[in-house]
Structure 1
Amino acid sequence: SNKKGQKHQHGSLRNQGSRFNIKVTHNLGDGYYALGYYETRFMNKNIDSTENSIGSGFGTITTKLAYAGLGNKELGEATFGLQKTIADIISTAEDKEYGVIDKKPYIPTEGNAIAYTYKGIEGLTLGASYVFGGRNFYDYEIANGKISNAVQVGAKYDANNIVAGIAYGRTNYKAEQGKTQQVNGALATLGYHFDDLGLLISLDSGYAKTKNKAAKHEKRYFVSPGFQYELMENTNVYGNFKYERSSVDQGEKEREHAVLFGV
């Protein structure tokens, strides 16, 4: 892989997303229920308490997700708190922990948000969310480069051997001198299950345009074909290839290639 920041090969013991979570629901009658979810993980942190992806993953025990809400089987769920967004499920490649697909430059995948999720039709998930800005712990201001706010909508269908999903998001970031940076991004995925072979073939992709006030705009996109093959129950072989390109107003271009295989 020549993924950005990975210039050297190395080996080490790594925590692959181990976690502890609690989910509770309470029946309110007439088909309505209250819900709550809490998840804690080991996490490497920067000095400002943000997550650092470099390291073994055996860092500080910290709250990863925590949210509550109301739901109805026919109407869907409305939740508030630190949670994942619809963008988190808009990919098929099995590369969440060691993978090469980084969706955050296109659409944020988690944060403090108000979200609505509908799963009333088998195999179909509809979602919409508003993500609040991430304020620091020192003066409760939004730091430069952090999200000011974001909105996103999306849908994913996974049934009858077909996988298809798409999401759109508009994210505002705080830039220097009080300026804002706006990212309009989209993610899409398409796949097919060959049940007789135990094989899933997929194609993930994304596109984003960044508007910088009084500066050049940026564009980026990626495509990532992949596969998952079931060796036995709960054991898969998987792999994917990614090509990503970014440019600044048709000027300087950067390209990235990456390959991943795993079990």
Structure 2
Amino acid sequence: MMKLTFLLICSRYAMALYNQHVCPVDNWLYNQSCEEELHLQSGPTLCCTLENVPLISKCGTLPPESCFFSLICSTGSFIVMVIVLLRYAHVIEKHQNCVLNTAALSTGWICAAGLIMVGNFQVDNAKILHYVGAGVAFPTSMLFVCLQSALTYRLAKTQGEYNVAHLRLAMTLLAFIALVLSGVFFVQESFVLQHASAIFEWVFCVIIMLFYGTFSFEFAGVTGDTVMVLARGGALGPNGRGHKVESLGGPISHPPESMSML
């Protein structure tokens, strides 16, 4: 699912570039103003202004890419909610619930809510709401990967799990650097720094999507019991799972009081 979302995001940039709504990322030359708007220009050399910086939001402002931008963000928000929920249940099933796991669930869903706002309120049409959504989505996505990195280290027992933790930590550090540089450069008036901000913004989003892709290591072991964790309100931990198996097929039966305590 994350691969599909990544391809859709790249295709949206390609669509905006094809329609000459934004300048290519390899173009670092900007002017204060141009005689013609970018989409009316022709020739190998284009005149670009700050209105044409290839920020993620700018690549989804004008139709037809604005329609795909809204669709991608809404679909991506749903995917994020599903992945975050599965990760939450998987941790409870294999280990036990903890503050880090609950906090990661909350930040992941808040990020999904901000992503919906970003996609459905384009920056040129509803700037305040768009920036509110971005102000929610970007920091919470950064916080989510930080929590998941810490949670991975806390639950790691084998060398393979520690390797995944090291990978996630490295991706978290790179995402943090990209996010900080993107925010610092975005508020500058320099054309070059604005363009660099757009590049770091894309880098941040790509790293975050790759981070979500690393959950495939854990999700390979997802079973029907993972869904049962959610059905039981997160009360089925490793001990609860063992009692569940015994009560279904083992010789040991437990009174109802034991299940209520679990």
Fold-level similarity (TM above 0.5): no
Output the TM-score relative to the length of structure 1. 0.24
Higher relative contact order (CA 8 A, sep 6+): 2
The answer to which structure has the higher helix fraction is 2
Instruction: Return the structure number with greater strand share.
Output: 1
TM-score (norm 2): 0.24
Larger Rg: 2
